[in-house]
Structures are given as C-alpha cells and as structure tokens.
Amino acid sequence: MANSAQARKRARQTIKQRDHNASLRSELRTAIKHVRKSVEAGDKSAAQAVYKLSISTLDSIADKHIIHKNKAARHKSRLSAAIKAMA
C-alpha cells in the first residue's frame, strides 16, 4: 500500500490510465475484427472502406504508445495483404 500522498495519487492515476489504455486496445481489436469480417464476407469494396477507417485507429493508438509502431505497421500490412488476396 502506498504510504505517501504522492504515491497514493500516482496509484489513483495509474488505475485511471490503465482503464483508458484498455479501452483504446479494445477499440484497436474491434477495428481489426471489422476488417477481418468484411474480408471473410467477400466484399472487397466494403473491406477497403473499413480498412481505411481502421488505419487511422491503428495509427492513433500507435502514436499514443499503447502499441508499438511496428506492431501497428504489421497489422496494417497483413490486413492490406488479406484484402489484396481477395478475388
């Protein structure tokens, strides 16, 4: 347990920040899931539209250091490859 006032405040801030980061990670996973579902549905134009929206989410979360920029790049690359592989 935190003993000083400063440590108690940092503990409160950490809890709040962890909840915020968790919601952003959830938003990221949802964006990726939407692209995957549209690829599985077979609609290439819809998949491209959803992909463009998810790119901004990925970049935004990477800019906030919730995930590493290379991880965001890897996700974007794999989603793009999945869309290009569609017939």
Question: For residues 3 and 31, what is the distance between their CA atoms, to the nearest angstrom?
Answer: 41
The mean per-residue pLDDT over the stretch 15-21 comes to 97
Compute the distance between CA of residue 9 and CA of residue 2 in angstroms, rounded to an integer.
9
Q: What does residue 3 show for φ and ψ, rounded to 5 degrees?
A: -100, -35
**Domains of the chain, residue spans:** 5-84
pLDDT value at position 87? 74
pTM of the model: 0.83
Report in angstroms the alpha-carbon separations of 16 from 5, 44, 47, 55. Answer: 17, 39, 35, 26
Residue 1: band (very low, low, confident or very high) from pLDDT cuts 50, 70, 90:
confident
Domain covering 5-84, topology: Methane Monooxygenase Hydroxylase; Chain G, domain 1 (1.20.58)
Is 2 in a helix, a strand, or coil?
A: coil
